[in-house]
Structure 1
Amino acid sequence: MALDTTALSDLLSRLLADWESEVVEFKRGKDGFSSDDLGKYASALANEANLRGQERAWLVFGVDDKTRQVCGTSYKEDAERLQADKQQVLTGTGTFTFRDIHVLAHPSGRVILFEIPAAPRGMAINWKGHYFGRAGESLGPLGQDKLDEIRSQTLATDWTAQVVPEATIADLDPEALKVARERFAAKYANRFSAEDVAAWSDVALLDRAKVTQNGVITRTALLLLGKPESAWRLNPHPAEITWRLEGEERAYEHFGPPFLLATTQLFSRIRNVQLRILPENALLAHEVAKYDQKVVLEALHNCIAHQDYNRSGRVVVREYPDRLVLENDGAFFEGKPEDYILRDRVPRRYRNAFLAQAMTELNMIDHMGYGILDIYQRQRQRFFPLPDYDLEESEMVRLTIHGRVVDQAYSRLLMQEAGLPLVDVLALDRVQKRLPVTEDALRHLRIHKLVEGRKPNVHVSARVAAATDSKAEYIRTRSQDDEHYTRLIVDYLRKFGNADRAELDRLLTDKLSEALSAEQKRDKISNLLTKLRRQGSILNAGSRSKPEWRLAERKE
């Protein structure tokens, strides 16, 4: 969360008043404070926050832990080096890091506040393979009782954590096991050598990857690594992903376990041609794949991780000529999509905590909430429309990934304005799709001259059109004043004497803004005729069903 100086000062005062607890740690924070100790405190404080039902914990540098006085800290005074601690901690934990690092210019010296989110339910946070906790003011290994308490938080209700009676390693696919070993080794290359990982037994690997429980096969193991012929052990719950091709050509295919391999196989079925986006007045086109593989796989893995398997449904991927639509059973489990796009939210709970943990260890997802943001950022970098989440059905999540350009002006703007804030890109994306935009967002876009026009016909403004060399497109979509169109009608009647509705439609339809639909254009012409009639400028000499419009005679 972004905090200003006043808010940070108030926060520090509250933390000092409560002094140290298991979720707050004060340190002088000398410049030589080791990254290893930093990671241990991140693990310990995250785990303690989870156990005490707190949303976050704090590690504070620049406070003497004996006198309780602010003394200031010289720790990493370079802002870029300081923020690099996030990546260092993420590397050591594999899945977890600080939510934010705040710096306060206190009158008594510089203070750094590391904001640490609570460990997700069911998932203790480790540092380099070891779990840490606190006992009073002391840092040490997380007690087995505390570790069991965290792990048991979701075991009773997590469908994916349940063991499968009589299932053995023989029920797992050899190729999937090989890929799992490679992915785990790549993820933890800084911790284990490839030779060490290769020497582990399958049982040791799967336990370390949190796919099994003490060597016992779980439903997660069968979903991710199971042989297709072993899927029956999950009955009556269908472990299946369905791909359907919609349009003039129709096709479908079902994919079962092992999901670790199935998602890549499904992606190969998608018709992923190269598209050309040609900037105005440019000789070289920007070539881009219709769908980014990482975007599609990230979205598909999220469907697997968050599917409500108790509903006995399947994940469905529908391929249309211009988009992909991914559906999974179960409401959005924590927060809303925009929380992860704009508010840097870290999820605290998972419907399938055990499965999510295993998929994280196998580098299929992250469980810090960055996946959704990454999908949006990659679509933005490709100059494509942003994805759309549909949560209208209470027990289903539907995600649309667009595979074509909707508005050339929008795409060209993204090409030239790489630094445009994401919140503005989100709003402009809704404008190009003719979706509702909040009044605050619309006001902001107008202030910056990014849009113009009256609702519901808001469109890219002249300023943006000029910036993207899309002036012709702007003229075609810009709405003229009513006076311009009424003058055309009057001039036509003055020259030809009369006109029926079909003639006036032919006169005006091509001249009205292309932002209007055919029905909106017909309504617009009717309103113009009504306006002229009420002004006394024209009259209907025919009938209502077969009008004959003429200029009205003016009385002197």
Structure 2
Amino acid sequence: MDKTELQALLAELIARWESEVVEFKQATDAFGTDDIGRYFAALANEANLRGAECGWLIFGVNNRTRGVVGTDYRPEAGRLHSLKMQIAQNSDPRITFRDIHELHHADGRVLLFQIPAAPRGMAIAWKGHYYARASESLVPLGLDKLDEIRNQTLAQDWTAQVVAGATLDDLDEAATHKARDSFAQKHANRFAADEVAAWPLATFLDRARLTQDGAITRTTLLLLGKREASHWLNPNPAQLTWKLEGQERAYEHFAPPFLLSTTALYQRIRNVQLRILPQDKLIPVEVAKYDQRIVLEALHNCIAHQDYTRNGRVVVTERPDRLLFENVGGFFEGQPDEYIGGEKTPLRYRNPFLTQAMSELNMIDTMGYGIHSIYQGQVRRYFPLPDYDLSESQAVKMTLYGGVVDPAYSRLLIQNTDLPLADVLALDRVQKKLAIPDDAAGRLRRTGLIEGRKPNYFVSASVAKATASVADYIRTRGQDDAFYLKLITDYLTLKSEASRADFNQLLLDKLSDALSDQQKARKISGLLTKLRKQGAIVNAGSDTAPRWKLTRP
């Protein structure tokens, strides 16, 4: 906008004055970026709720007189426009000002920050907090407004939309053949394979729920579309990415048809045979680093549940001992833990049209068994269980282990193939040095599977015997107090007196490796206190410089 247009806009905004989508500030150069960020989120959310194209934050206008007074906020152009990056870095989703207009008014410099309305279905947060407006006041975004924004897209399934202009010529021939085979296998009790093969392509696509009355949908193009037909899905990248990290680095992008691309991506993953030596056995158990069914299940879940309105891609990162699966969009129905047991069935899906088509092609099930099957598959392979990271509100990350974390855990699974899944879950957390519930800890103690004190649990002797050496276990388990007390008294018998530093040197490397340095220090203090209270030793020095002696040489 030129100066005349900006002056007209400013006059109009001042005439209407402050509302839920307009805020005026006099604002000096000291005006805080966090304050601007909060106003940015609030005005973006209110613009969405009121159907406005944008909101406005105006600097250089006095609130009381409603007159232009000017502002000295960031007078340098470079500094002023760097605010766009600062806002983008701390807003979620990452958006920023549509523009920052600088008007040199007759009564002073005015800044007009043009704030885009929040995208449909997505509220804007600033540093993890949602804001709104109550008349002219800045307030937290209430649950009623948050639900109103989130519900905007519930009735709109991105994957079900018909793609005007796309035709059957945009489909990959190999993918359509594979789709027919998969559909026939899925419905073998209803249709003969020859019958499915004889259907006209348009008929098959409708019956497989890939098209709508013969019209090509986004789902059709994602699963069966040619690589060169991906332009119909712009601005969505329609892409799967494999990335190798470690001593060697590489990557490759995979376009539709996803029905074939997922297998092509899996084949890029380095998959070797690993050996696990069971307790008291000479012949090792050989296990593939990754199981194809598990990898494809995880990858198909990413495709089925991704939020395609956010225009992201699925990324599979291969590291030396694990795979990391990432897709945009928060966990849509419940939490991962609810699906591990295989008993929860989701009531709704983010992409119902896509998930139904993938189910028809035997890529996923729609009963919530996917996560359960991944966990059970890792148990059968004696490997650590997957980890989910939902710390980012608009992303899901799942780690799939391709190696042993604790040999004792893996050997235990080899020796006890009938362990309840709940116990395996708890043992998996123990091997990863994570907290477990008290009831689980009690159950594992009673069955002799763990030892140690909360929170430093570790696998018990029955498991540790299967480790590389019993010495490793002893170092972790530690000894009874009587052992350490005897060391202290024997030391004083030989040396007559000792400082705290002497006892540290004597005991630190003998205490359990499961203890931190601070916990070891407290343990030594407790041992000395115990002997003093028993009357066995006495401090002949001071509290700051103790000299410990036996009471009876």
TM-score for the superposition, normalised by structure 1: 0.65
1:483-523 CA deviation, whole Å, 9 max, x = no partner?
4335435544654678898876665454333434xxx1x22
Q: Partner of 1:342: helix, strand, or coil?
A: coil
Q: 1:187 to 1:472 in 2, by over 3 A?
A: farther
State the AA in 2 paired with 1:276: R
Q: 1:286 to 1:540 in 2, by over 3 A?
A: farther
Partner of 2:157: 158
Partner of 2:430: 431
Aligned-residue RMSD, C-alpha? 3.0
Mapped pair 1:419 → 2:434: no
1:30-55 CA deviation, whole Å, 9 max, x = no partner?
xxxxxxxxxxxxxxxxxxxxxxxxxx
Equivalent pair of 1:326/1:400 in contact (CA under 8 Å):
yes
Shift in Å at residue 476 of structure 1?
3.5
Partner of 1:530: 525
Partner of 2:270: 271
State the AA in 1 paired with 2:525: T
1:442-489 CA deviation, whole Å, 9 max, x = no partner?
222223332221111112223454699985554332132344335435
State the AA in 2 paired with 1:359: M
Q: 1:493 to 1:202 in 2, by over 3 A?
A: farther
- Fraction of identical pairs, as percent: 60
Number of residue pairs aligned between Structure 1 and Structure 2? 396
Q: How does 1:182-331 map to 2 (within 5 A)?
A: 182-331=181-330
Give the distance between the partners of 2:549 and 2:498, measured in 1 at CA.
13
Partner of 1:117: none
1:73-105 CA deviation, whole Å, 9 max, x = no partner?
xxxxxxxxxxxxxxxxxxxxxxxxxxxxxxxxx
Shift in Å at residue 338 of structure 1?
2.3
Partner of 1:355: 354
Q: How does 1:499-538 map to 2 (within 5 A)?
A: 507-516=506-515, 520=516, 522-531=517-526, 537=537
State the AA in 1 paired with 2:280: N
Shift in Å at residue 234 of structure 1?
0.7
Q: 1:258 to 1:497 in 2, by over 3 A?
A: farther
Equivalent pair of 2:245/2:319 in contact (CA under 8 Å):
yes
Give the distance between the partners of 1:236 and 1:473, measured in 2 at CA.
55
**Higher Rg of the two aligned structures:** 2
**Larger RCO: Structure 1 or Structure 2 (Cα < 8 Å, ≥ 6 residues apart)?**
1
Equivalent pair of 2:478/2:510 in contact (CA under 8 Å):
no
1:7-43 CA deviation, whole Å, 9 max, x = no partner?
xxxxxxxxxxxxxxxxxxxxxxxxxxxxxxxxxxxxx
Partner of 2:68: none
Q: 1:249 to 1:550 in 2, by over 3 A?
A: farther
Q: 1:501 to 1:356 in 2, by over 3 A?
A: farther
Give the distance between the partners of 1:458 and 1:525, measured in 2 at CA.
16
Shift in Å at residue 323 of structure 1?
1.2
Q: Partner of 2:325: helix, strand, or coil?
A: strand
Give the distance between the partners of 1:158 and 1:317, measured in 2 at CA.
25
Q: Partner of 2:216: helix, strand, or coil?
A: coil
Q: 1:444 to 1:539 in 2, by over 3 A?
A: same
Shift in Å at residue 360 of structure 1?
0.6
Partner of 2:461: 462
Partner of 1:396: 395
Q: Structure 1, unaligned stretches of length 5 or more?
A: 1-153
State the AA in 1 paired with 2:264: Q
Give the distance between the partners of 1:555 and 1:446, measured in 2 at CA.
41
Q: 1:229 to 1:438 in 2, by over 3 A?
A: same
Which of 539, 545, 549 aligns to 1:552? It is 549
TM-score for the superposition, normalised by structure 2: 0.66
Identify which range, 525-534 or 410-419, moves more after superposition: 525-534
Identify which range, 171-180 or 338-347, moves more after superposition: 338-347
Give the distance between the partners of 2:259 and 2:471, measured in 1 at CA.
48
Q: 1:396 to 1:228 in 2, by over 3 A?
A: same
